[in-house]
Structure 1
């Protein structure tokens, strides 16, 4: 659900507060009319079958990571992020006791991840702990054995440590030890790298190291050179250059594993961009990372190991899960229906699922969501009776209980399926609210593709709003915000004007409703029908709809605009509990007059009796379009409104920065900080570069189209006013470099005289292209000049540059591209045209001839294409385009050179003598490098031909190109 923005149009429409029709009592005091017509009761969906109940409330944990039972005792033991291990009683007095503080060991012990006790404990008094003692180190993560000197409490002897294994501690360490039914120790280890780019070291498919693997070792029998031995039946023991410890490989960040009662090993694997996976780990299996992320392609199959890829038992997309946490199989009789189910959850969304799987038939018997919690689920724990407990990163422990709501209203079969049935409106077609439903306005709106809106709140009967004295993360309520009673409804209708010059073209798109259901908020979309008489409740699925918007800024006279009617799950991605769920009905947003009335809106609501007690209003929210506010205030407001619901603590954004306006500029961790989610063609990637917006990834991602654009959800149209605001603010943060000023002048000139040569110069790098794209975003730019420049830029060989300009093309010239998941059979079955393919090769912006010659025309960075149609089938040609690194002719193997100045140069090595080396890059440009300036030089494992070369081509273009190449006999 997207609560629309009004950066362009204001919302000076509506019936005003007078529509509430307050009465006066005998004393002349205005009284609130009660809302009594609400039909919003229960939910249209079956309520979750379970709820959670906190247990061990007196136990205080600090960022726990793993919890397990101490064998032969009635105690739990917990590892924590701070390196301290604690134990407490399972029943009776918790009696919390320290076990060990790993920070007392030499080194910087940043975190403990997991613990396992020897299968014959306490006769064998050993425990095995995984922890990190040095961050960002090649050997900073460890598995060590410690002696337990007091098994009943327990206590661990710190100086008894015996190191067993070490591995990379950059990120994705995995790190859970677990003894199997065979007595061997199993371990999960991640790829040990930052999230982006995915697996740059290509360790996922490399069985020559321990990363991205599941291990199996014998800790009872030490070898001559290791504090463990490798079982003889491990699958890769006899494979040359392989690590024999590996039991299976191709996992990204395996987080929490368990054994089923039939001996199967299960794990939750944290995905990258699209998928979260549940795997059954079989010996010798390959689970695909980083060739694949579950079923999603990441890198070409050319990088895959010869062991075939094993599919996940189950995978989630990132709408419902973003960081999976593996669990345990339930066997407790307390909830019989869960017996035999794998209980697992998600760190980001807090959801918990049950999965029943028939291993014999290799099929899922049952899969359902059990409960949606506000917890960051870091781990699960299984008790002796087989009950699975939930461990939250906030230090709380919970158990599943039947949902009390199942015995109350439960699913409401009569839940309103039309907006006219909700009781919110006396007349839906006229949007006349029912008595007691109050219309309101806010100070600042986020960007929602140029739409406008109206808003209402309905509080049932004589219920009132109060201010929360403390936060309750379980319900998404935040201190200082309003506390909304059960059955409160907040509604907003979205409008889109199809012709800016014609007010009568304004259409209702959808009415979004947030409904307070006991301690939770439910989100619903009512989609307006064609004749604008009513709106229909959308099921919990997302539907995309396209509009044609009249615009003078296009030679076509219109542009296409897509609108996503979000599913209920998607709505809650933005209305996340950590940001308070309700974004607009807040004191700072309401502190204003309504529809130009003189009385303050908050005061009027108070006079109506909407509030339980008096309170102090907050300073009004700054609007990004308020020219009376400072540049910094307006920019910070834009980031708050559009980005901060994700980019905050527990918000779900993967960047390590915070965009809330209440945070100081320094504490935002934004300015001059490195970006870790892709470089987009920049050599030194920073989120925001002081004084230089052209090199700031934040601005680039607000401007681009396609993959990687921000905001990620809820908008498909670039906010030009927001882009210009961000550009000016970043410039104000420091002295702008001379090349930025020079490019700005060049852009002004090329808008007057758009010659191809000058445009080409401005497209030589991402940073200069950003300046050009910003210049096209400004008001008053000549339409013909803008489209002429866009036509050149949109054909650029670099996708990072093309993505900045395609939106400026006329709608009739914007094309559908293949993308990264290419259907090979569909391409091969599409009829191609030789002449079109020839023109594509020689005359298009795809620049094939920059590297390959045909009939003597083109560069010879790669092999000649003469005769290719006689040597290869059409499928083989297509495969070489999709997977260029599978087979590389040695004469055309690339070379990479690092100079002492830190410059990286890659291309084909033409020559080398005692003084210099000559490299020609993929653009045909020669680099002459003195040998004494070379710090490192080596051949490349990958082809110089770019991967995913066809992603930005159309289906027909690809078929035409293949037909042309096949014709070269």
Structure 2
């Protein structure tokens, strides 16, 4: 190349070679699984003076079998261009590195530093690279438009080829792994380039699209509309915004000001954190609010209560929680403020007076209301974020886990700003906090009084399996943490001095998972709901109504199944219901326009559209069939699995639990048994007996099951309560013929295992899904299941860079590593961090943690055992999973930290000698093994659902594992 080709006259128009720029940018997003397939890079816009720029460019790359330093075959890669001032650029990448080939005159020994900037238009991050005269590459990352750049210079390998000075630079992925970000499908990036000594010039914007060649086999699933409904008739109400133009974010509490037509609410900046107290006009068209207390005060306010005599004294009370660094704890407290009872209703932040406070670090309670007696009632939780670890539920010497009752109009004898009502139930009992009205509550979330009857209602968040509503009476004990509602929890703990009263209403976690207490409604909009206590659930969005006659519940009904995250209920200035939704703001109920219509939900499997042919068990071709690494034990049943997400939607990837699938997603799993051909004949035939379908609508999963007929031509929707059937089956291992009872689960039972702790989908997670494709004939393919989904562009939110760094940071902190030692550990962990057969996965799938087949005798013994426990037990036995033992059986938790080795059982020991959950070296003392080996009522069988037969191979596996463990030395 001549000198003239490299430098333009001063003042002349710059024409930067965009083809080379696009090639360089396309390197970092290769998703193709075959040669000559990948991301399509399309010019979205370009300056008018760049008419010589090609309108589109497809980056192709050769996949090298050798992950060493052999450069690509440049003749196969159409990704080169002449860039003014730089020369000729060619670019490619393989499994190990980026490759850049830079050509210049052999006699030219110097070159200006060249700068290339790539900026994500939507999200703001930018990546700037500078190429030095010696071929060195520096990278400058700006995570956002507001952030400062961080820089790193990489050593490169440069070779000179032929008579031209061709510099081939190999940039390992391990270097770029520290920097990110990388373009993703659909992202729009702007490009600026030029010599570093001159102002950069914008040469265009490009959008990344998946190359059609990589999508040739991608399924295009459309969820059958009938499956997005429910088998039951539509509920009577739906929700709609109460103030469509008012942008309140993350509201928690809402109430009406007694005068002035105004509403007060507390709002967070994010899902958790300090709140602001705001106020606005009760007008459907309101668009603005005023802030009475800012978030900067650091307090999270849960409840608001106006004094009964507010029109005279102007007192309003707030219940909340805030840090007290000087006490090394958080406190829940009640604070009184003055809010003028006459226009303009001025609020006085400087009038704050703390009435009562107590240490509390989770399960705080903090709601409050004045009773018809004029006293203030306040809720308190057990003060922890676990299973009552401080044993406060039955402890009457503290203010926690209770409903408190205080007199805020009369100071106490010791100068405290409240006194104890003389008729409080424990006022004369020694050692009891006299403020106590009732106790034994885990996390009472909302309390309210019926304004006509004076009845006190409290919603209580359960722990593992159940949520409760209590009709609270003076002096009662509600049992936490001996019980969770009406069910045993830690019965061996010491009970308080009073008998346990059960809940008034109770919901299993298949129906509700974080109850929000409500209020008794007496408005005019819904006459049929007058006198009903209306409450809801944060996690499912469901809303119920119950009527109580003072002795018992006389009516209970479900009102609505909404997409809301319900944090509280309130009344507007007309006495109509308001709902605080953590997602969208304030909502209200309105009649369901579909009320009264018959359900069109398919009662026959053939009507679902999920099968192309039922007799052949041939699925809809647009469903994605898959297998798992560690199958759940299902009483010897053979299973086939598939799922579908709506075309155009993507899966939000998570690295530990189930992935987040979009609304409209459907999962399908069929079960088959080996049925005896005739009587006691050992000749068997495979017979499909059940197909379970899960559907996600309104951000909530629902489960349905269909039972197959013997002719294998149809399957019929099972009633919501489930059913059972006896089959004559042949044991494949022993040839034994016996009667097997098959349980078709209720819709509630399905959601016990498909729990929130597991993120609802069990097989659709990295641990299970990370394996080679297996077709319907059992043939193992060469492509990884996760890699195929990524090639189709079905993943969103994969950020292995961040995942990796979080893991590294956690590990270095735990090891106490700093400085050079931490950097060395980073380099070691990044050694395998390149796309490989995972493309966008920074860690290739075969380098990511995954389960193994527990029955594969060639695999590591402990990995097999832990895989079995993860699949069959960890849906409950993880934090907040529903199993009320403290063990953590999910696979990522190391065995030494799983709280199973030499741990005394929290519950039944089954008369085992010196029982432990797992007694290393002693299977005869290990309760975990006993439970897996048991079936039948009161046997302690685990898992407690979905199985009536012992998994003999699993029992032998766990027995061998326990025997292999080193026994503790005598005296330990």
- Tell me the TM-score normalised to structure 1 length: 0.56
- Measure how far apart 1:175 and its partner are: 3.4
- Measure how far apart 1:258 and its partner are: 0.5
Select the residue among 651, 658, 670 that pairs with 1:492: 670
Alignment of 1:196-211 (within 5 A): 203=394, 210=399
- The verdict on how the C-alpha distance between 1:465 and 1:128 changes in structure 2, with shifts beyond 3 A counting, is closer
- State the SS of the aligned residue for 2:231: coil
- Measure how far apart 1:433 and its partner are: 3.3
Select the residue among 360, 367, 371 that pairs with 1:176: 367
In the TM superposition, what whole-angstrom CA distance separates every residue of 1:291-345 from its partner, at most 9, and x where no partner exists? 7765557799999889777664433345434543311123444555444332212
The residue aligned with 1:220 is 409
C-alpha distance in 1, partners of 2:248/2:510? Answer: 32
C-alpha distance in 1, partners of 2:753/2:629? Answer: 17
- State the SS of the aligned residue for 1:511: strand
Q: Residue 256 in 1 paired to residue 446 in 2?
A: yes
- The verdict on how the C-alpha distance between 1:373 and 1:684 changes in structure 2, with shifts beyond 3 A counting, is farther
The residue aligned with 2:264 is 76
Q: Say whether the 8 Å CA contact 2:902–2:920 is kept in structure 1.
A: no
C-alpha distance in 1, partners of 2:317/2:372? Answer: 17
Q: Say whether the 8 Å CA contact 2:279–2:292 is kept in structure 1.
A: no
The residue aligned with 1:468 is 650
Q: Say whether the 8 Å CA contact 2:668–2:691 is kept in structure 1.
A: no
The residue aligned with 1:448 is 633
- The verdict on how the C-alpha distance between 1:477 and 1:678 changes in structure 2, with shifts beyond 3 A counting, is closer
Q: Say whether the 8 Å CA contact 1:77–1:88 is kept in structure 2.
A: yes
In the TM superposition, what whole-angstrom CA distance separates every residue of 1:923-955 from its partner, at most 9, and x where no partner exists? xxxxxxxxxxxxxxxxxxxxxxxxxxxxxxxxx
- Measure how far apart 1:451 and its partner are: 3.0
C-alpha distance in 2, partners of 1:730/1:396? Answer: 53
Q: Residue 514 in 1 paired to residue 694 in 2?
A: yes
**Greater share of helix:** 1
Q: Residue 592 in 1 paired to residue 773 in 2?
A: yes
- The verdict on how the C-alpha distance between 1:116 and 1:689 changes in structure 2, with shifts beyond 3 A counting, is farther
- Measure how far apart 1:715 and its partner are: 3.8
Q: Residue 379 in 1 paired to residue 379 in 2?
A: no
Alignment of 1:388-399 (within 5 A): 388-391=577-580, 397-399=586-588
- Tell me the TM-score normalised to structure 2 length: 0.55
- The verdict on how the C-alpha distance between 1:532 and 1:599 changes in structure 2, with shifts beyond 3 A counting, is closer
- The verdict on how the C-alpha distance between 1:358 and 1:191 changes in structure 2, with shifts beyond 3 A counting, is same
- Measure how far apart 1:391 and its partner are: 3.9
C-alpha distance in 2, partners of 1:331/1:543? Answer: 41
Select the residue among 557, 564, 571 that pairs with 2:750: 571
Alignment of 1:593-742 (within 5 A): 593-594=774-775, 595-597=777-779, 619=845, 622-625=851-854, 638=868, 641-642=871-872, 670=898, 678=906, 711=943, 713-717=945-949, 719=951, 737-739=966-968
- State the SS of the aligned residue for 2:634: coil
- Measure how far apart 1:380 and its partner are: 3.2
Select the residue among 320, 324, 328 that pairs with 2:515: 324
C-alpha distance in 2, partners of 1:725/1:178? Answer: 57
Q: Residue 541 in 1 paired to residue 721 in 2?
A: yes
Select the residue among 345, 351, 355 that pairs with 2:546: 355
For structure 2, the 5+ residue unaligned runs are: 1-215, 797-837
Q: Say whether the 8 Å CA contact 1:439–1:455 is kept in structure 2.
A: no
Q: Say whether the 8 Å CA contact 2:627–2:641 is kept in structure 1.
A: no
C-alpha distance in 1, partners of 2:755/2:478? Answer: 32
- State the SS of the aligned residue for 2:684: helix
Select the residue among 543, 553, 556 that pairs with 1:367: 556
The residue aligned with 1:344 is 535
Q: Say whether the 8 Å CA contact 2:267–2:278 is kept in structure 1.
A: no
In the TM superposition, what whole-angstrom CA distance separates every residue of 1:407-438 from its partner, at most 9, and x where no partner exists? 9xx5336x54444565655764x444377576
The residue aligned with 1:828 is none
- Measure how far apart 1:593 and its partner are: 3.8
The residue aligned with 1:164 is 356
C-alpha distance in 1, partners of 2:733/2:604? Answer: 37
Q: Say whether the 8 Å CA contact 2:267–2:275 is kept in structure 1.
A: yes
C-alpha distance in 2, partners of 1:686/1:150? Answer: 63
Q: Say whether the 8 Å CA contact 1:70–1:77 is kept in structure 2.
A: no
- State the SS of the aligned residue for 2:968: helix
Alignment of 1:921-960 (within 5 A): none
- The verdict on how the C-alpha distance between 1:644 and 1:128 changes in structure 2, with shifts beyond 3 A counting, is same
- Measure how far apart 1:186 and its partner are: 0.9
- State the SS of the aligned residue for 2:558: strand
- Measure how far apart 1:519 and its partner are: 6.8
Q: Residue 99 in 1 paired to residue 293 in 2?
A: yes
Structure number with the bigger relative contact order (C-alpha 8 A, sep ≥ 6) is 1
In the TM superposition, what whole-angstrom CA distance separates every residue of 1:390-418 from its partner, at most 9, and x where no partner exists? 445668654434446559xx5336x5444
Select the residue among 249, 253, 267 that pairs with 2:458: 267
Q: Residue 131 in 1 paired to residue 321 in 2?
A: yes
For structure 1, the 5+ residue unaligned runs are: 1-28, 743-900, 904-969
Select the residue among 280, 288, 292 that pairs with 2:471: 280
- Measure how far apart 1:86 and its partner are: 0.6
CA root-mean-square deviation = 6.0
Q: Say whether the 8 Å CA contact 2:886–2:899 is kept in structure 1.
A: no
C-alpha distance in 1, partners of 2:252/2:927? Answer: 33
- The verdict on how the C-alpha distance between 1:684 and 1:72 changes in structure 2, with shifts beyond 3 A counting, is farther
C-alpha distance in 1, partners of 2:272/2:308? Answer: 27
Select the residue among 364, 372, 379 that pairs with 1:188: 379
- The verdict on how the C-alpha distance between 1:647 and 1:636 changes in structure 2, with shifts beyond 3 A counting, is same
C-alpha distance in 2, partners of 1:293/1:424? Answer: 40
In the TM superposition, what whole-angstrom CA distance separates every residue of 1:76-99 from its partner, at most 9, and x where no partner exists? 332769662312344534447472
- The verdict on how the C-alpha distance between 1:675 and 1:411 changes in structure 2, with shifts beyond 3 A counting, is farther
C-alpha distance in 2, partners of 1:174/1:447? Answer: 39
- State the SS of the aligned residue for 1:714: coil
Q: Say whether the 8 Å CA contact 2:333–2:355 is kept in structure 1.
A: yes
